[in-house]
Amino acid sequence: MARRLWFLALAIAIVLVLNAPAFAQNDPSSTTLPAGGGSAITGQLLDGDDNPVPDVEILVEQDGPEIGRAISGADGFFRIAVPAAGTYQVTLIVDTLPDGVALRDESLATLSRVRVREGLEKPVRFLLGEGAGSGVSTIEQFANLTSDGLRLGLILSVASIGLSLIFGVTGLTNFAHGELVTFGALVAYFASTSAAGPGLPLILAALVATAFGGAFGFAHERLLFRPLRRRRSGNVALIVVTIGLGLFLRNFYLLVFDGSPRPFDEYTVQRGLDLGLISPRAKDLAIIAVALAVLLAYGIALRRTRLGTAMRAVADDRDLAESSGIDVERVILVTWSGGGALAALGGVLVGLSDTVQFDMGFGLLLPMFAAVIVGGLGTAYGPLVGGVLIGLVSQLSTYWLSPKYRIGVALAVLIIAVLLRPQGILGRRERIT
């Protein structure tokens, strides 16, 4: 079967190559500029298993008038020349998708702000997944959803440790935590992919992003929250401050990064590996390995180091910790830095697993709250338990429900958890009253 498909793809490719010049003459809109020069919008359409999707129509417009159209080739590639640098709208014509393939997010059929620079090719990406009627067995679907859910859950755990610990040591519910996550992904994007950046390999860029995330968390505490604590601002006032901070940062990111989602330039196109029941991409395995290693290191640091013990003591009872000689302010500063670093690393992992976008962290904020509350707000290991649980439940729900309900499922778990066991799985009752 696979072999026959290859022959078919090869045949289509040969036909396309042979017909290409004639094609260009018959359809002036597909190549308005000589090939090879000038600006263009390009991309490759891949389905959920990273197989190319041919014969899908892509339309480019600029605020109304049509600029050009193209049909994806046998390798899934498409290229549409545009006359000049500027902002374009790129639409995938959903009706032309083959059976069994659908957009993962139907609202992203049109990328409304694709900015093309003079003389450069601008890659765009449409995230495709399985539509109705794909021929994968039930057990395989389940196994794949479980491994996806595990990956999502572990990322969620890494990203939300800071949220839980900062609450634990200071009592602050940080509604701007998502912006720490986005920050990490943006720094990594700048360091690795952006034309203006140094062009580091992504692995180095992830380390840089983690370090910058730590510094960003440090700055949050030193420049904003420590002074506010000194002024004895109330809990509710601080929550409103974090809302304002989040709104400010998110729109600042929008200003510098633009609205369109963009992938890192490495590891974007990966075929699923065949591991029996599951077929993860190599980068999925890498993400799971990194997340597990980080979580293990975190657990050991919390158990075995003096600082980790101090952190748990402050989270447990601040006054008691202070009176037994622990420098609480220093512990809080370390918690902010560590939490910021882990959130940034989580952001890089989300960007690697999906794409980088200015509001990716805000989208994760409520699932992160769900993870820490289900696990136990303020507890050290709560985010681990809660994150994996939320990841698995929301991902597995897509077996029965449409993926667009995924976030709804995560939040429904959160609401049920708050009603039934507000202290979370690992929390204790007195924290929440």
Of 1-9, 53-61, 133-141, 365-373, the window that binds another protein (rule: CB under 8 A) is 365-373
For tokens 């304002």, what's the residue?
A: 244
Q: Which of residues 112-171 bind another protein (CB under 8 A)?
A: 113
Min dist. Cβ of residue 234 to another protein (A): 4
Name, in order, each residue with C-beta under 8 angstroms of 105's C-beta and a sequence gap of 6 or more: 127, 403, 404
CB of 332 to another protein, least distance (A): 18
- According to DSSP, the β-strands at 66-71 and 110-116 are unpaired
The upper half-sphere exposure of residue 61, i.e. CA atoms within 13 Å in the direction of its Cβ, equals 12
Kindly state whether residue 425 participates in binding another protein, applying the rule CB under 8 A.
Answer: no
289 touches 155 (CB < 8 A): no
Instruction: Please identify which residue in 30, 62, 87, 110 interacts with another protein, judged by CB under 8 A.
Output: 87
Q: Can residue 235 be called a binding residue for another protein (CB under 8 A)?
A: yes
Between residues 109 and 301, which has the closer beta carbon with respect to another protein? Answer: 109
Question: Which one, 285 or 432, has the nearer CB to another protein?
Answer: 432
DSSP secondary structure string, 113-152? Answer: EEEE-TT-EEE----EEE-TT----HHHHHHHHHHHHHHH
Q: For residues 24 and 239, which CB has a smaller minimum distance to another protein in the complex?
A: 239
Q: Residue 236, interface with another protein (CB under 8 A)?
A: yes
Answer yes or no whether residue 233 interacts with another protein by CB under 8 A. yes
Q: Does 268 bind another protein (CB under 8 A)?
A: no
Decide: is 407 part of the binding site for another protein (CB under 8 A): yes
Residues near 286 by beta carbon (within 8 Å), at least 6 away in sequence = none
Sole binder of another protein in the list 9, 254, 302, 307 (CB under 8 A) = 254
User: What 3 state SS string does 166-223 have?
Assistant: HHHHHCCCCCCHHHHHHHHHHHHHHHHCCCCCCCCCHHHHHHHHHHHHHHHHHHHHHH
Binding flag, residue 94, another protein (CB under 8 A): no
Q: Is 250 in the site for another protein (CB under 8 A)?
A: yes
Question: With binding defined as CB under 8 A, does residue 186 bind another protein?
Answer: no
End-to-end C-alpha distance for the chain, whole angstroms:
62
Does 177 engage in binding with another protein (CB under 8 A)? no
* 225 touching another protein, by CB under 8 A: no
Compute the least distance from the CB of residue 243 to another protein, in Å: 6
Question: Which listed residue (40, 311, 341, 373) binds another protein by CB under 8 A?
Answer: 373
3-state helix, strand, coil in the chain (%, to 5): 60, 10, 30
> What does the alpha-carbon distance between residue 109 and residue 56 come to, in Å, rounded to a whole number?
12
Should residue 433 be labelled a site residue for another protein when binding is judged by CB under 8 A?
A: yes
Q: Does 85 bind another protein (CB under 8 A)?
A: no
Cα separation, 88 vs 81, in Å, equals 12
Write the single-letter amino acid at 420.
L
Q: Which residues bind another protein (CB under 8 A)?
A: 87, 107, 113, 173, 175, 228, 233-237, 239-241, 243-252, 254-255, 366, 369-370, 373, 402, 404-405, 407-408, 411-412, 414-415, 418-419, 422, 432-433
